[in-house]
Amino acid sequence: MKSTLSARQRLELRAARLLCTLPPRAQVRLSGRPPVRVDGQTLEPDLQLALSVLERRGAPPLETMPPAEAREAYRRQTAVSGGEPVPVGAVRDLTVQGAEGRLSARHYAPDEPGGPHPLVVFFHGGGFVIGDLDTHDAPCRLLCRHAGAHVLAVDYRLAPEHPFPAAVEDGRAAFRWALAHAAELGADADRVAVAGDSAGGNIAAVVSWQAAREGGSAPVLQVLVYPATNMAEHTRSHELFGGGFLLTRELLEWFAAQYVAGADPSDPRLSVLRAGNLSGAAPALVVTAGFDPLRDEGEAYADGLRAAGVPVVLRRFPGLIHSFFNAVGTSRVSREAVIEIAGATRALLAGRGSSRA
């Protein structure tokens, strides 16, 4: 279970929140740069200041660390950026069945009357190398609270210890477990969705695509937050935003080297955008960030789903960066975006039918 913040982390959180409350003009001035405008978009001032603060700290890039150290650094970072835990109905840790053994998971139950409420199986981001239940505790709580849904966060196996296809195979197994055990969690077994951010968005998309190919039970909705959908080629947004906006081209290459590990990057389980047939996939909410290298491939995937006849809601947050999903405790605009995503998830799930074949 996510621990409370240390005294130092609380101090860092207070400082970040104070900076977040400053007027936008003051935030830009403190960043030491003029407003950042790229591709017709303006970077949100609080994120411009946050990126400037990170640069001044001079912390070593994650890709220069061994994976174990990178994971710990990411935990420390998200412990502060996620803020204090948002209360929900109940939270408990458990295990679910993965592809090759049990996986740690965390169940968030909503504090709402009525029910049973839908279940969202969530896969965290982190390039398939870093991230865990704690790094994404904050957004999962907001999703539970504002979507009015149970959330089951899954701690799938990470590379390089477990390279491709371990993560997607664990995702498929965990989704099947959720379908079989939804009622035990107090959720509606006929409304089971998948969701994820970044690498987790890849897993959620692949789970949905493979369910459509194989028949049988499938998600009623896929919520893809800046998903990785094309590891076989770079897009224009990779060139525009591959430096200076947190997720760099060097970090992307490091993630790919750990996870892909010699596999064919055009395999649809790595690059679901390249799947020949997307018809029958679950209806989708696709979310992108304007200053994100993954922006264009996420939007291309939304276009591909639409072309295949899949209902899609696409929402770009033009002034946000990759990883805003983890900045809900220190960035007002990021928190508002996640709450909006959760509200859209609630609305879409309200009109969905059965997950069962």
The CATH code of the domain that includes 281 is 3.40.50.1820
| pLDDT score at 14 | 76
In a domain, 77, yes or no: yes
Tell me, what's the pLDDT at 215? 86
87: amino acid identity, one letter: P
Residue with tokens 């408990």: 92
Residue 2 lies in a domain: no
Position 97 in a domain: yes
Contact 256, 238 (CB under 8 A): no
Residues contacting residue 279 through CB under 8 Å, at least 6 positions apart: 212, 308, 309, 310
Q: Are 282 and 205 in contact (CB under 8 A)?
A: no
Catalytic annotation, residues: 198
Q: How many CB atoms within 10 Å of residue 84?
A: 11
* Distance separating alpha carbons of residues 110 and 339, to the nearest angstrom: 15
* Distance between first and last Cα of the chain: 35
CA–CA separation, 269 vs 58, rounded Å? 36
The answer as to whether 356 is a domain residue is no
In a domain? residue 355: no
Q: Evaluate whether residue 169 is within a structural domain.
A: yes
The pLDDT value recorded for residue 232 is 94
Is 79 a member of any domain? Answer: yes
Give the per-residue pLDDT at 5. 65
- Joined together, the tokens standing for residue 78 give 């998200």
Classify residue 287: in a domain, yes or no: yes
pLDDT at 357: 47
Tally of domains within the chain: 1
Among the residues of the chain, which ranges form H helices?
7-21, 24-31, 45-57, 67-81, 137-147, 166-181, 199-214, 236-241, 249-259, 295-307, 332-350
Cα 299–302–305 angle (5° rounding)? 155
Burial of 156 (C-beta count, 10 Å sphere; 0-12/13-18/19+): buried
Q: If the chain, 357 residues long, is cut into consecutive pieces of 10 residues, what is the mean pLDDT of each piece?
A: 65 76 89 96 95 87 97 93 94 98 99 94 99 98 98 99 98 98 97 98 98 92 98 96 96 97 95 94 98 99 98 98 95 97 97 57
> Which domain covers residue 94, as residue numbers?
7-350
User: Taking the CA of residue 115 as centre, how many other CA atoms within 13 Å lie in the half-sphere pointing to its CB?
Assistant: 18
Would you say 70 and 62 are in contact if contact means Cβ atoms under 8 Å apart?
yes
pLDDT in the model for residue 85: 92
The dihedral built from the CA positions of residue 140, 104, 193 and 295, taken in this order, carries a sign that is positive
Q: Does the bond joining 87 to the residue before it have cis omega, within 30 degrees of 0? A: no
Task: Give dist(CA 277, CA 93) in Å, integer.
Answer: 37
